[in-house]
Every structure is written in structure tokens, then in C-alpha cells.
Amino acid sequence: MSTFRPFTLRAGHRVVEYCHPVVMGVLNATPDSFYAASRLEAEVEKVASRARDMAAAGADIIDVGACSTRPGSKAPDAAEERRRLDAVLPAIKAAIGETALLSVDTYRADIAAHCVSELGADIINDISGGAIDEAMFETVASLRVPYVLSHMRGTPDTMSSLTDYEDVTAEVISELSPKLYQLEEMGVADIIIDPGFGFAKTLEQNYSLLANLESLSIFGRPILAGMSRKSMLTRLLDIDASEAEIPTAIVGTLALERGASMLRVHDVLSARQSVKIVETLNANA
């Protein structure tokens, strides 16, 4: 069982210290997220209300996406992604204040720059690890914001065919290592590692990665586990995403025990409960 290591994130002019595992709430301003109940599109009042509820339930970070990245998805063009974010981010920022940090889930560097500079975003969460837009690393370095470095092969449209691994955990580490080094050399201070559950991994590879998650502690960076309601749960258990809150809490608990510092989830309250259980267990070990 791994012990949580406190860390800090620099958000604008303040430094936020995390002494407990972090819960990142997922908020989708899209019409086509894989989990139907999370599809809010650009309905400002609904998005702001959901963000407010997440913060009240204990979300430390709210991660807003306006471009679905589910396997096989076709991305909207940059203008549409920007339109959606322009519509919702100011309302979300007003709704949560400084209760939670605001993360934007995008792989487009110009969108990242716009959201940080003009809309008040604190974190950039790039599911492609800089592979889709080569300007992303330079952009994040210039913005001086925390960056979620994720593992993925290909694009959401092609990744399902790119699952040829000898050892998935070892190869995730080897493929992320040069990117982490590059970011560090460019002066990016706050880097979060996301091994990319569900992105270019088979069902079995996802569970192998979860079983060996503690190996990623070699990076010395916070580890984010994003498995919420994904097909690694629904396919295994033959259920719909709408039925996967409890399985999500279970794998979240297992991830925390294996060194995850952050859980990215649709259901903030159950994730916060998982955190409390694991912390109590560790305190009495």
C-alpha cells in the first residue's frame, strides 16, 4: 500500500498545497461524451450548477472538456471547441471561485493559451501528451501553468488499433519519460502524470497498468488515475456507463492504494469517500 506524498500546484499568483489525494471532477461541455449523463453541451446555467455542486461535494479541481475524446470520436474543429469553452468557462469560474482549480481538457495549444490567458483556467489537461499539437509544450511553458502529461498513442479516432505492447506499464513509462524530461528542460514546474487508462490500451492492459501503477512513482510526480465509468469497467462487468459509479469507486480506491495522487471522476462524492477510507486505513496500518 502506497503512502500519499503531499504536493503543490502553482495556479496564477497562488500556490495550492495538497496534503490529501485530490479529486478532479469531470465536466463535459459536449453533446457526445461516452457517458450520456455528463453531456451538458454549452448550456451555461446547467454547467455552472454542475460545477457548483462538484465543488460543494469536495472537488479540488474541475476539468472542463469541450471536445469528446472517447475511442473512435471525431473532434469538432477548433472554432467550435473555442465557442463552447467561451460560453461556459466564465460561468464555471464565477460559480466555484477559489474553492477549486479550473482545468481545461484540450490538446490544442491555441485553445490552451486562450483559456488560460483570457478565461482564467489554471491547469491544462492534454490527453495526447503533446503529440497532436507540437506547439503544446512550448505553450504550456510560456503560460507557466500545471500540465497533465498523458499517455496515448495515435488519436482518439485511431488509438484502439495501437495496443501492441510487450509490457504496457514499462512502455508507458518509457514513452512518457522523454516528454517529461523535455517539459522539465523547458521550465514547466508542475507536471502531473496520467498513464492514460482507456487510451490505446486493451481491457487486459488497463488492468495490468492498474495493478502496476505504483511503478510510475519513478517519475516523482503526482499520478492521476482516470477510469471513471470507462469501458474497462463496463465491458468487464457487462453494464452500461450509467451503472458504473460503484465500480468506479472501487478502482479508484485500488488506484489510491497503488500510489495515485489524483482521481478524475464524474462522481465527486463517491471519490471523496474512497479517499477518506484509504486515508483512514493508512493511518491505522
Average pLDDT, the chain: 92
User: How far apart are alpha carbons 65 and 143 in whole angstroms?
Assistant: 19
Query: What pLDDT was estimated at residue 3?
Result: 82
Give me the amino acid identity at 14.
R
Average pLDDT of the segment spanning 40-45: 66
pLDDT at 52: 95
Query: Which residues span the domain enclosing 91?
Result: 21-283
In a domain, 173, yes or no: yes
- How would residue 35 be classed by pLDDT, with cut points 50, 70 and 90? very low
Dihedral, CA atoms, 272, 11, 149, 214, nearest 10 degrees? -40
Question: Do residues 49 and 62 make contact, with C-beta atoms less than 8 angstroms apart?
Answer: no
Catalytic residue numbers, as ranges: 230, 264
Read off the CATH number of the domain in which 211 is found.
3.20.20.20
Question: What pLDDT score was predicted for residue 38?
Answer: 44
Contact call for residues 38 and 80 (beta carbons, < 8 A): no
pLDDT tens for each residue of 54-72 = 999 999 999 999 887 766 6
Confidence of residue 75 (pLDDT cuts 50, 70, 90): confident
Beta pairing class for 147-150 and 191-194: parallel
- Give the mean pLDDT of 243-260: 98
Question: What pLDDT digit, counting tens, does each position of 219-241 carry?
Answer: 999 999 999 999 999 999 999 99
* pLDDT digits 0-9 by tens, 128-154: 999 999 999 999 999 999 999 999 999
Q: What percent of the chain has pLDDT over 70?
A: 93
Give the confidence band of 209 by pLDDT, cuts at 50, 70, 90: very high
pLDDT at 5 over 90: yes
Instruction: Indicate the number of domains in the chain.
Output: 1
pLDDT of res. 244: 97
**Segment 115-129, tens digit of pLDDT:** 999 999 999 999 999
The answer as to whether 8 is a domain residue is no
Q: Please report whether residue 6 resides in a domain.
A: no
* 190 CB-near residues (< 8 Å, 6+ apart): 8, 9, 10, 145, 146, 147
Question: Could you identify the residue written with the cell 510510475?
Answer: 216
258 falls within a domain: yes
Band of pLDDT at residue 31, cut at 50, 70 and 90 = low
Mean pLDDT to the nearest integer, 69-93: 84
Is residue 14 domain-resident?
A: no
Assess if residue 15 is contained within a domain.
no
pLDDT per residue as tens digits for the range 170-207: 999 999 999 999 999 999 999 999 999 999 999 999 99
Q: Calculate the alpha carbon distances from 33 to 209, 213, 215, 229 in Å.
A: 24, 26, 30, 11
Q: Is 80 exceeded by the pLDDT of residue 30? A: no
Is the pLDDT assigned to residue 13 strictly greater than 90?
no
pLDDT beyond 90 at 163:
yes
pLDDT at residue 68 in the model: 74
Is 209 inside a domain boundary? yes
9 inside domain: no
